[in-house]
Structures are given as C-alpha cells and as structure tokens.
Structure 1
Amino acid sequence: MEELVRQLIGYLRDMWRFRWWGLAMAWIVGAVGGVVIYTMPDKYESSARVFVDTQSILRPLMSGLAVQPNVDQQIAILSRTLISRPNVEKLITMADLDLGVKDAAQREALITTLSKGLQIRGTGRDNLFTLAYADVEAARAQRIVQALVSLFVESGLGGKRQDSDTARRFIEEQIKNYEQKLVDAENRLKEFRLKNMALLGDGARDYVTQIAQLNGQLAQAKLELREAENSRDAMQRQLVGEEPVLLPQTPNASNVSIPEIDGRIDALKRNLDDMMQRYTDKHPDVIGARRVIEQLEQQKLEEVEARRKAGPGQFGALNSNPVFQQMKLSLAESESRVASMRARVSEYESRLAQLESSAKMLPELEAEMTQLNRDYAVHKTNYDSLVARRESANIAVEMDNQSGIAEFRLIDPPSLPVKPSAPNRLLLMPVAGAAGLAIGLALTFLLSQLRPSFVDGRSLREVTGLPVLGTVSMLSTPERRRARLRGLFAFGGGLAGFVGAIGIATVVLNIIQG
C-alpha cells in the first residue's frame, strides 16, 4: 500500500509541472463545448397518449365458443414492431414530409432520422402508450405524432383482421384437403368391402360368425333332409300291397297319365314356380328341382314303354280308390321335398368348404380392413375438428366486427410544443466543464509520461538500475517561496475562473432558453 501511495504521489508531482498546460486545455475544451452547446438547434417534442382497452364483456361470455386471442400480447408486440421501414414510409406520406424530398439520398436520410427519433413508450400491463417525436419545428413534430397515432390504431385493427382472414383461409384449405382424403378413404373402404364381401360379411358379421351361421344352417338342412326322407319312406311302405294304377295304351306317351309320377311332376312344377319368384335360374334349389323334373319325366317315359310292352291288359281304367291317389300325390311331394333339401345341403356344404379354404387369407384381410378403418377414423376426426375451428373462427370474426376485442382510445391528442425540450443546456454545460477538466488532467498526465523527472534518488535508482552516490537539495529562499505562492494563486484563480465561467454560461443559456 505504501508503494502505491508513493507512486501516486510521484505521478501527481510530475503532473503538477505541466499544470498550466492542463488548465489551458480545460479552458479551450470548455469554450468550444459552450459554443457548440449554444449553437445546437432547439428541438420541440410533441407527444400523445393512447389507451388500448382489451377488456370486453363478450370475451368471458363467448369463452369456449369463439377463439380468444391474447390481445395484450398482440398489442405489446405491435408497439415494439410498429417502427419499421414500411410503416415509416407510410408515415412520411401521411405527414407530408416527402414534399421537400428531392432525391433518394434525402429520402433515405429522412427515413433514418424518423426511425431513430420516433418513440413508443409503454407503461406495462396498463396498455397505456405514449407516442412522441422531437423535431426542430413544433408543427412538423405534431403532424408526425398525429400520423403515428393513426398508424398505430390502423395497424392494430388491420393486423387483427388480416390474422383472422389468414387463419380462415388456411382452415378452409385444410378442410378441402381432408374432404378429399375422406372421399378417397371411403372409396377404398367401399371397394375393399365389395371385393371381399364373401369373407367380411355385411359389416355386422365377421368370419367366425359366418362359419357358425353356415354350420347351423347346414345342420338344420340335414335335419330337414332326414325328416323328408323318413316321411317319403313311410309313404312308400304304406303303398306296399296296394293295387298299382296303370294307364291305358295310347299311341303318344305324353298323353298317358300315371298318377304317382304325374303328381310328383305337378308338385315339383308348382314348387319351381314359387322358387322362380324368389331366386334366379342359377340358384341351387331351382337347378335341383329342374333336374328332378327331368328325371321324373324320363322315368314316366320308361314306365309307359314298359307297360306298353307288357300288353294291352296292363292298361285299364284308373284306379278309383281316392286314398290311393292321395297317397301317390303325397309321395310325389315328398320326393320333391327330398330333392330340394338335398340341393340345399349340397349348396351349404359348398359355401362352408369355400369359407374354410379362404381361412389363410382372413388375417391379412382383417389387418387391411383395420388399417383402412383407422385411416378413415383419423381423417374424420381431423375433419370434424377443423370444421369446429372454422365455426369458432367465424364467431370470433363476427364478435370482433360487432363490438371489437380491443378499443383504441386517444387520451391526450398530439400536443403543439411551445418550449423546446432539447437540448438540455443546464445539464450539457456542466458536462462540458467536467469534460474540459478531465481532458486537461489527461494532457498533464500524458506530458508527464513523455517528459519524466525524478524527485528523489530512490526512483532514479529503480529506473536506471545504477547506484546513486548522493543527492543535492535545493534551498528555499524567501523569493522562491513568494514566487511559488504567486503561482499557486494564479493557478487557483485560473481554475476558479474556469468554474465560474461554466456556471455563468449555464445561467445565461438558461435565461436565453427560457
């Protein structure tokens, strides 16, 4: 610490040798600063206050139905981004500042000046903003602030409308895209169902259900077939011992009547007529009935031919026993039913075999069906969500058009300043004086370093590294003491005069400015 104090004292002694240079520099800097401050042009600041009311009664009422944007955040961002080049160019036109612009360079300079001079000061969450601008002409400053207020309000309202329109257009485009995706997904699902209808069923029945249903139908058809066969066999046993019915000899077999065969043929034809009203020609029951009819007709021809060869005695009158004839008809109907049930059993067995043979394809088909349903469900969910958001956006836009989410209120209109707001000469003059003193001290320090001196033998020995044999002291005489005292008074008077000149200049500038 002692070493630092010793070095500091050494620096001060060296600087004291050049004190008059420092004082002269302080006077020069102070005088130049005073002239510059005096010649600085006056600037008049015009300001306006705008309040943005974001508390609307519709916002809590429409919560959940309409989109609720963060209006406070939007206004805060607007206040920070309002001073941009496009907006400054609009402001130049609105305030008629481009009338005196002659070339592009002047316009760029004007844009730069306005961008630096425009101020938007907020008070935080109260949404109260102060718009200000300082210019050498009070009226022009007022016009600029008025244009800035208009631009602030228009940018806020226009920005909200533009955001709403952009959002609605985007949602509409997405809805159209998802409509097309839904149509494509529905078509793929429909084509897949039509292609694999036999395995997938009607949508309410899966493969296992179809197998179980076919097994049940097949078991029921086999049971009915056994019942029909048992009924037919019982009728045949009842006819044993009865007198057979023979037909008379006729030259044409088609005109010969054999009741037991003709009855069966008639019953089958009636049954065939009923089936043709419900089925097509390719239905298994229809094909089976026609095959049985052809077999019976062939059997009739063979029976007629056999009886013709047996002799005319075999042809006689029809048996007049009505019970016998009724039993013959019942037997023919039973034969027809047995043939029909056999065809049905055969068809069910064929279908069941086809389903069982397609069992290996079923997991792949079910996986593809699941994928198609999942894609359709995702597209449907997104589509419904987009439609709901579109309606919410429409309600929000209508709500904004009716009452407005944010209302701009002009609290204080742009003022026409009478007194200049800048420069603050009361502050600048003392600053200029302090700067002069600081520059003077810096000059004395620089000179002391350029022309160093040694005040004792220790510092000389430390600098040169050589031993000091001795020192010679200077004796102080009365004349030297009086000369030194006069020098101190002169330097003190010069320093006091500098401080007084700065104070007097500050008072004078204040009087002139006031």
Structure 2
Amino acid sequence: MKELIEKALYYIKGVWMKRRFIIIIAWIICPIGWLYVMQMPDQYKASARVYVDTDSLLKPLLRGLTVETFKDQQLNLMVKTLLSRPNVEKIARMADLDILTNSSEEFDKLVDSLSKEIKIGTTKREKIFTISYQQPNPESAKSVVQSVLTIFVEDTLGETRTDTDNAQRFLNQQIKDFEKRMTADDAALTEFKRQYADLLPGKGNSYYDMLKAEETQLENTQLQLKEAQTRLFSARIQLEDEESLPVPQVQSQAVYNPSIITQYDSRLNQLNQMLDEMNLRYTDKHPDIIELKRQIADLVQKQRQERAELASINYQQSRPAEASESPFVQSLRLNVSQLENEIASLKVRVENYQDKVAKLQEKVHLVPKVEADLAALTRGYDITKGQYNQLLERRESAIMSQKAGQSTEGVEFKVIEPPRVANDPAGPNRIILLSVVTLLGLGLGIFVAFAISQIKPIITGPKELAAMIKIPVLGAISHSNIEKMIQVKRRHNIAFALVIIALLCIYGGLLVTQTSNHPFVQQLKTLVAAT
C-alpha cells in the first residue's frame, strides 16, 4: 500500500512539474470548444399528442356479428411503418422542406435526417402517441409534426378501409370458386348415384341391409311355400277320401273369390304401409304420395286380373264334376286348386327373390369400393359446402363490419395537444456542452503533462535518482540559493493558479449567460420579483 501511495505521489509530482502543458492545452481547446458551442444554432422542438380510440360504441353490440377490422397490433404496425421512406418523402414535401434542396442527393440527405430526427413515442397501456421534431426554424418544425400527424391519421384510416375492401374482394372471388367446385362435385355425386343406384343405400338402408331384407323375404317365401305344399298334400288326401264316398249331385257355379293369393299381394301390402307412413308427414298433393297411389292402382288392377284368371281356371276344372259331386267335395277341390295356385305364385316369388339375392351377392365385391367412393364424394362435397357457407357468413360479416365502420369510422383519433412549438429553444444544452469542453480541455492537458513526464522523467529527490540509476545515493546537497528557488516556484504556482482561475471565470461567465435564459431561472426571477 505504501509503495502504491509513493508511486501515485511520484506521478502527481511529474504532472505538477509539467503543469505548463495543462495551461497550454486547456487554453487551446477550451476557447475553441466554447466558441463552437456558443455558435451552435438554437433548436426549437415541436410536438403533438394524439389518442387513438379503437373501441367504438357499437363494438360490444356487434360482437360475434362482425369481424375485427382494426386491431391494436395493426395500429402498432402502422406506427412502426409510419417513418418509412415513402412516408418521410411525403412529409418533406408537405412541410415544404424539399424546396430548400437543390439536388436529389441533398433531398436524400434531408429524408435520412428526418427519419432519424422525427420521434414517435407511446405509452404502454393507453394508446397515446407523442410526435416530436427539433429544428432551428420553429415554423418548419411545427409543419413537420403536423404533416406526420396528418399522414398517421389518413394512412391508418385508409389502411382500415383498404383491408376491408380487399377482404370483400377476396371473399367474393373465393365464393365464386367454391360455387364452381360445388357444381362440379354435385354433378359428380349425382352421376355416381345414378350409376350405382342398386348398390347405394336407400333411406336409412345400406347394401347389406338390402341383401339381408331380400334374404329374409326369400326365407319367408320359401317357408310359406313349404307350408302351402303341406296344406296341399293334406287337402289332396282329404279330397281323395271324400271322392271315394257317394255324394248327391248339385249344381255348382264358378265364384270369384277375393281371397285368392296372387304375386302382387306382398308388394301391395308394402306400398300401403309406405302410403300410411307418408300420409302422416305429407299431404295428398305431395309428389311421392301421388306416385305411390299410381303404383298401388296399377298393382290392384293386375291383382284383380290374376284373381279373375285363377277363378276362371278353378271354375273350368270344377264344372265336369258338378253333376255328381257334393258341395263339400267341390269346396275341397276348390281349396286344392287355390293351394296349387298359391304354390305356383310362391314359386314365382321364390325365383324372383333368388334372382335378386344372386344379383346382390354377385356385386358384393363392389360394395366396399362403391361405399368408399361415395363416402369420399360426399365428404368432399360436405367440406366444400361447409367452407362455402362459412365464406358466405364471413362476407356478410365483412359487409356489416364495413357499414358499421362507415358509421363509426372504426377508429377515432383525438388530438390531445395540437402541434405547437415552445417559445424557448429546446436545445442545444449549452451548459452541459460547455462543461464537457472545459473538462475535456483540462483532462487532455493533464494527460499530456503525464505523458511528457513519463517520456522525460524528472528527478525530484534522492529516491527517484536511486530508482533511475539503480545505484545507492549516499547523500543530497541542497541548492546554494534555495530561497530564490522557493520564490520562483511560488511565482510559478501563483501564475498557474491565476491562469486556471481566469479559465474557470470565463467558463463561469458563459454558464451565467446560459442559465439566465433557462426557464427555471426565469421562473425563479419572476417569483423573487413577485415577493
């Protein structure tokens, strides 16, 4: 620690011995710097404050019905892009600063300086923006701030309207495209259903349900056929037993029996059931009900014709035996004939169902592919239709948003403080600049004195001499005229102090001239005068 102190004292002594360089450097730098600072032009600051209200009165009422056409993120983006080069060029022309330039290079320099010097500040919570700009000409500074404010308002509102128009144009184009896609998908789906109508599911019935229903009908018809054959066998045995007995002759007549079973009975029952179900949901003028009634009428006519033919056949078969057979035998014979007709009809139905089941079974390998293709077509159509409906809803929301925006402008700008320029200049801060120049001059002088003392070291005592020559110093002899040397050093010290004091006095005088014009000093003077 002692060595460090001695080392520091040695450096201080060296600087003190070369103190004349401090005076020389300070008196060279400080006056030049002070002159430059005092000649710097005054800078007048123009500023304006604006509040952006993005929450309109209709916003809570239209929530869910309209789209957000203006968001805080979009506002922040507009603020960041406000000082883009096209906007700054427009600001320069609006403020008539371009007439001060004589070439494109000067205009480019002007635009670059404006981009750096225009300041836009904002608060974190409230949407309050501050626009400021400094220039020697107060009117030009105010004009620049007014131009920035105008472009900020116009571009923001114009961007909102442009976004809405672009969104509507995009939605209209997409809707047209989706309409074409829906038409194509609808045509493809209709053609597919027409081509594979027999394999596609009906109203709630799939292919396998249709196959199961046909197989069930086949099993039921086969069971009815077996039952009819069993009854026919029993009826024939009974008829043979009765024919072996003598019976009185009676006159028999062919009678039309509506209970004769035909091949149209089951189909008529199904159609009548379907007609009953549809009558519960629709009126008699519904196209499906009219078609069902027409089919039922056709089947009823065919049923009557078949029953008439069967009754005629039964009558012809029973006429030869009328004279010698009893009515009971005739009824047995008629029953046998009816059973034979029923069996023939059931055989036809069995063959019909067998053909249907065989045809359906032949196409069983096509069913998975057809169902997959149908599901793909239906899914694609449903997706296209869903997106089409969403586009329609969004277009309506965009139209409503545009109408709401036209009535409320979507966003409102409230100028809290219009562009204004303070009477007192905002800069430069000459007090700080003068202080920096003074400290720089003195500091640089001290540094030069220190550097010279190290380049040309000075011996101030025996210790420094011993450290330099690295030989022990046995003793020291004082100057013969020590008193005169002391007086010379005293005069040098006084001269150094006077020069430094003079420098500081000039610095102080400059500070007084600047502080006298400071707003705080003016207010203090006014307060003192009032008291």
Give me the TM-score of the superposition, normalised by structure 1: 0.75
Question: Matched residues, percent identical?
Answer: 29
Q: Matched residues in 2 for 1:200 and 1:188: separation?
A: 15
Indicate if the aligned counterparts of 2:46 and 2:145 stay in contact, CA closer than 8 A.
Answer: yes
1:359 matches 2:381: no
Indicate if the aligned counterparts of 2:178 and 2:388 stay in contact, CA closer than 8 A.
Answer: yes
Indicate if the aligned counterparts of 1:121 and 1:129 stay in contact, CA closer than 8 A.
Answer: yes
**What aligned pairs does 1:378-397 form with structure 2 within 5 A after superposition?**
378-397=383-402
Indicate if the aligned counterparts of 2:221 and 2:349 stay in contact, CA closer than 8 A.
Answer: yes
Q: Matched residues in 2 for 1:9 and 1:370: separation?
A: 98
The one-character-per-residue Cα deviations of 1:213-240 (angstroms, maximum 9, x if unpaired) are: 1122212333454566667778878599
Indicate if the aligned counterparts of 1:430 and 1:503 stay in contact, CA closer than 8 A.
Answer: no
Indicate the residue corresponding to 2:121 in structure 1: 121
Indicate the residue corresponding to 1:311 in structure 2: none
Indicate the residue corresponding to 2:76 in structure 1: 76
Q: Please tell me the residue identity of whatever aligns with 1:62.
A: L
**What aligned pairs does 1:236-385 form with structure 2 within 5 A after superposition?**
338-385=343-390
What's the secondary structure of 2:199's corresponding residue? Answer: helix
Q: Matched residues in 1 for 2:216 and 2:106: separation?
A: 98
What's the secondary structure of 1:96's corresponding residue? Answer: coil
Q: Matched residues in 1 for 2:475 and 2:70: separation?
A: 83
Q: Matched residues in 2 for 1:456 and 1:205: separation?
A: 121
**What aligned pairs does 1:40-79 form with structure 2 within 5 A after superposition?**
40-68=40-68, 71-79=71-79
Indicate if the aligned counterparts of 1:235 and 1:331 stay in contact, CA closer than 8 A.
Answer: yes
The Cα of 1:437 is off from its aligned counterpart by 1.5
The Cα of 1:504 is off from its aligned counterpart by 1.0
Q: In 2 relative to 1, CA 459–177 (structure 1 residues): closer, same or farther, beyond 3 Å?
A: farther
**What aligned pairs does 1:142-161 form with structure 2 within 5 A after superposition?**
142-161=142-161
Indicate the residue corresponding to 1:308 in structure 2: none
1:450 matches 2:449: no
What's the secondary structure of 1:199's corresponding residue? Answer: coil
Indicate the residue corresponding to 1:196 in structure 2: 196
Indicate the residue corresponding to 1:92 in structure 2: 92
Q: Please tell me the residue identity of whatever aligns with 1:395.
A: M
Indicate the residue corresponding to 1:34 in structure 2: 34
Unaligned ranges ≥5, structure 1: 243-258, 280-284, 301-316
The Cα of 1:500 is off from its aligned counterpart by 0.8
Indicate the residue corresponding to 2:483 in structure 1: 478
Indicate the residue corresponding to 1:422 in structure 2: 427
Q: Please tell me the residue identity of whatever aligns with 2:89.
A: E
The Cα of 1:96 is off from its aligned counterpart by 2.6
The Cα of 1:278 is off from its aligned counterpart by 5.9
Q: In 2 relative to 1, CA 483–374 (structure 1 residues): closer, same or farther, beyond 3 Å?
A: same
Q: In 2 relative to 1, CA 341–379 (structure 1 residues): closer, same or farther, beyond 3 Å?
A: same
1:24 matches 2:24: yes
1:434 matches 2:435: no
Q: Please tell me the residue identity of whatever aligns with 2:351.
A: S
The Cα of 1:203 is off from its aligned counterpart by 5.2
The Cα of 1:175 is off from its aligned counterpart by 4.0
The Cα of 1:375 is off from its aligned counterpart by 3.9
Indicate the residue corresponding to 2:524 in structure 1: none
Q: Please tell me the residue identity of whatever aligns with 1:89.
A: E
Indicate if the aligned counterparts of 1:457 and 1:468 stay in contact, CA closer than 8 A.
Answer: no
The Cα of 1:15 is off from its aligned counterpart by 1.8
Indicate if the aligned counterparts of 1:46 and 1:141 stay in contact, CA closer than 8 A.
Answer: yes
What's the secondary structure of 1:77's corresponding residue? Answer: helix
Q: Matched residues in 1 for 2:495 and 2:44: separation?
A: 44
Indicate the residue corresponding to 1:137 in structure 2: 137
Q: Matched residues in 2 for 1:444 and 1:462: separation?
A: 21
Indicate if the aligned counterparts of 1:52 and 1:409 stay in contact, CA closer than 8 A.
Answer: yes
What's the secondary structure of 1:60's corresponding residue? Answer: coil
Q: Please tell me the residue identity of whatever aligns with 1:414.
A: P
Q: In 2 relative to 1, CA 483–95 (structure 1 residues): closer, same or farther, beyond 3 Å?
A: same
1:216 matches 2:221: no
Indicate if the aligned counterparts of 1:52 and 1:408 stay in contact, CA closer than 8 A.
Answer: yes
The one-character-per-residue Cα deviations of 1:129-183 (angstroms, maximum 9, x if unpaired) are: 2222222222222222221111111122112222333333444444444444444
The Cα of 1:377 is off from its aligned counterpart by 4.1
Q: Matched residues in 1 for 2:187 and 2:222: separation?
A: 41
Name the Cα RMSD after superposition.
4.3
**What aligned pairs does 1:219-230 form with structure 2 within 5 A after superposition?**
219-226=219-226
Unaligned ranges ≥5, structure 2: 245-252, 269-293, 297-301, 520-531
Q: Please tell me the residue identity of whatever aligns with 2:456.
A: R
Deviates more, 1:365-374 or 1:43-52: 365-374
The one-character-per-residue Cα deviations of 1:382-433 (angstroms, maximum 9, x if unpaired) are: 4444433333333322222111332112222222554332222233222221
Indicate if the aligned counterparts of 2:69 and 2:410 stay in contact, CA closer than 8 A.
Answer: no
Q: In 2 relative to 1, CA 235–33 (structure 1 residues): closer, same or farther, beyond 3 Å?
A: same
Deviates more, 1:377-386 or 1:110-119: 377-386
Equivalenced residues, count: 462
Give me the TM-score of the superposition, normalised by structure 2: 0.73
Q: In 2 relative to 1, CA 193–432 (structure 1 residues): closer, same or farther, beyond 3 Å?
A: same
